[in-house]
Each structure stands twice: as C-alpha cells, then as structure tokens.
Amino acid sequence: QQLSLLTAWPQHEAHTLPQLPPMEKWVSVLQYGAKGDGQTDDTPAFERALKENQVVYVPQGWYRLTSTLNLPKDARLIGLHPFGTQLKLKESEPAFSGFGSPVPLVQTAAGGDTQLNGIGINTGAYNYRAAGLKWTAGADSYLNDVKFVGGHGTMGKPGVVSANGSYGARGTGPTVSSPETPVYNRGQDQAWDTQYWSLWITDNGGGTIKDIWTADTYAASGLYISNTSTEGRIYAISLEHH
C-alpha cells in the first residue's frame, strides 16, 4: 500500500483560552494600601487600583471588602492561588445583610473582555443577600482558577485549628458556623443554603470559564445561568455539595 507524503502541515485549531497580560504590566494592589489581613477594609484600595490600572495583581492574602467590587470592562484582576488569595466578607456585613435582592461581592461590567484569575470568593455564612460573582462580561472574557470558599473543602490558615471538631465527629460544638469556624458534624450546620448563588452568569454574560470549584455550601446554588445568549464555554468545573 502506497503512503502519500504531506505537502503542508495541518492547520492548527484556534486557541480558545485567552492569555494573561505580560507580568511587566501587573501593578500590585498593595501599592494602593491594601493589607490582605482579613480585617482591614481593602475596598478603597481595590477601587483606586482598578481606576488607575488595567492590570491589578493581588498577592496572597485575605482581602476584606465591605461593598460590591465593580470591575471595569477591560480589567484584569490577577491572583495566583484561589485559596491563599481571597476576596472576603466578614459575617453580617451591613451591605450584604438583611433580606432583598442579591448583592454580588464582585461584579463585572456588561459586555467587557474582563479577566479574573486565581482568586477565591468568600461570602462568609451570615450575609443573606450575598452572591459571590455576578458575571456579565462578554464573549472574549476569561474567568479562570476561582474557588468559592465555604462549607466542604474549606481549609484553615496554617497553625489555626477549628474548635468545632472534625469530619464525622460527634462533639458538642456550636450548630452555627462560618467558613473560618465550620461545623463539621453532619446535618448540624444551620447556616447552609442561606445565600444567593456563588457564580451567577447573567445579563448576556459569557466567555471562557475554566477551573472553577464552586462547592460553597452556604450558597443555594453553585452556578446559576440566566438571561444570556452570549457565546460561552466552561472547562473543568467542580459543582457539588448543594
């Protein structure tokens, strides 16, 4: 049987994963006064950094926010560890408490080519109006390596041990909890399923979504898609424990 020789290489398929911007363009949010200690209100620092820079780098730390962080259309918010780098709420944060429509912790601008990479979203347990991320960015946007923190799969800081027992234990710990002090006794965590959705793709949101762990048991759902006809694709999402 005769073999025919290639006269040209086959055409490569187009890449669908957007590239992060070169590191020389990254500007650290720490330069704008962010502390990342989990206590200081870092909202103003993020707002100033995003207003003055397209690419904002978020080093490892737990960054407390007190209101929705709105990302500009062309923003690139870049972290490198979705648990070691978190945007988080303290419990019963006023802007996210009470009853009413959802209040996102992070929200994108409509139709943009926004990029969010390597950052955890932590809405706590007792913030009843909280939704983790409202994604309304367009077909060229990129959401990558994000963990929605809370409930199953939550890890504590090194050297800090929760007083609420371990998985499967039958202790006498409290029956209310938060991501930092979870109740591990099965069926005894009264805070579960009290918040809005973790990842909310809506209002013609779309784009490329990859490597997402949305297992926050305090949220009613890990993923909710509504009101969109924008092209999108999802690779490797772990959607569980709701």
CA distance 112 to 97: 29
Q: CA dihedral defined by 199, 118, 140, 203, rounded to 10 degrees?
A: 20
CA distance 135 to 19: 19
Q: Let me know the angle formed at the C-alpha of 36 by 216 and 215, rounded to the nearest 5 degrees.
A: 10
- Percent of the chain residues past pLDDT 70, beyond the cut: 86
Quick one: CA dihedral 79, 49, 113, 108, positive or negative? Answer: positive
CB proximity list for 119: less than 8 A, separation 6 or greater: 58, 77, 78, 79, 82, 85, 86, 87, 145, 146
CA distance 74 to 85: 21
What are phi and psi for residue 3, nearest 5 degrees? -105, 135
Helix (H) or strand (E) holding 104: strand 103-108
Task: Give the pLDDT confidence of 17-75 residue by residue, as tens digits.
Answer: 999 999 999 999 999 999 999 999 999 999 999 999 999 999 999 999 999 999 999 99
**Which pLDDT belongs to residue 218?**
92
Task: Give the pLDDT confidence of 120-178 residue by residue, as tens digits.
Answer: 999 999 999 999 999 999 999 999 999 999 876 676 665 554 444 443 334 444 456 67
**pTM score:** 0.87
Q: Let me know the angle formed at the C-alpha of 102 by 99 and 106, rounded to the nearest 5 degrees.
A: 135
- At 8, the pLDDT band (50, 70, 90 cuts) reads confident
Per-state percent for the chain, helix, strand, coil, to nearest 5: 10, 30, 60
**Which pLDDT belongs to residue 123?**
96
Burial (CB count <10 Å: 0-12, 13-18, 19+), residue 11: exposed
